[in-house]
Amino acid sequence: MRRLIPLLLFWSISASAATLVGQVVGVTDGDTVTVLDEQKQQHKVRLAGIDAPEKKQPFGQRSKEALSDAVFGKTVSVEWNKLDRYGRIIGKIVVDARDVNLSQVEVGLAWWYQQYSAEQSVGDRQLYALTEENARRERLGLWSEAEPTPPWDWRKLKKASRK
């Protein structure tokens, strides 16, 4: 039973939607931030529906800077219903009624993360797909490169080179 309680807690957290409101006090990269809630508790938040270039990838630093400009020091609302395997909240960050996750895709500083699209609403899936398509067509940000390497492929290559 003792092992079942954390599992049930995780399931109950991930099965219901929640909103976290707080101030962004840290930006790790182009798709991860730290939010400080009213109780002064910090929460790592991974932006849902997107995957930004890693810091050492082309456009990685620009992606982090764009996210920082959009959220650092601001009060945000995080709509979420899942924790990842590292205990981070997976959510959509909203500032002044603007979807910050989508903004990263819009300016070509993140990919729409199709692998996890089933976790998005149908409307968000369609909007993120169209937004990425437009950024590609306009050759914005990382799409200015001939063949940008998606971060999931870049991570696999890095992991394989360490072996």
Whether 46 is catalytic = yes
The residue annotated as part of the active site, out of 3, 38, 46, 133, is 46
Q: How many helices (H) and strands (E) does the chain have?
A: 5, 8
Whether 79 is catalytic = no
Q: What are phi and psi of 83, to 5 degrees?
A: -110, 145
Whether 88 is catalytic = yes
Q: Name the residue with tokens 């109950």.
A: 12
Alpha carbon separation from 74 to 33, 36, 69, 129 (Å, rounded) = 12, 10, 10, 27
The residue annotated as part of the active site, out of 88, 125, 137, 139, is 88
Q: How far is it, in rounded angstroms, from Cα 84 to Cα 115? A: 14
First to last CA, the chain: 39
Query: Among candidates 49, 57, 42, which has minimal Cα distance to 115?
Result: 49
The residue annotated as part of the active site, out of 2, 54, 133, 162, is 54
How many residues are present in the chain?
163
Q: Which residues form the catalytic set? A: 46, 54, 88
